[in-house]
Amino acid sequence: MASKLPVVAIVGRANVGKSSLFNRALERQEAIVAREAGTTRDAVYRTMEYGKHHFWLVDTAGLKDPEDEFEATIQDQIEEAADAADVIVVVVEAHTAINEDDRRVAKSSS
pLDDT in tens, 53-92: 999 999 998 888 888 898 888 888 888 988 999 999 999 9
Among residues 71, 63, 73, the alpha carbon closest in space to that of 18 is found at: 63
Q: In percent, how much of the chain has pLDDT > 90?
A: 43
Q: Over 80: is that where the pLDDT of 37 sits?
A: no
Query: Distance (Å, rounded) from C-alpha 13 to C-alpha 10?
Result: 10
Entry pTM: 0.85
Region 7-109: CATH code: 3.40.50.300
Q: Among 3, 51, 48, 7, which residue's Cα sits nearest to residue 25?
A: 48
User: Residue 42: is its pLDDT beyond 90?
Assistant: no
At residue 31, what is the residue type? Answer: A
**28: CB partners within 8 A, 6+ apart:** none
Contact between residue 17 and residue 95 where contact means Cβ atoms under 8 Å apart: no
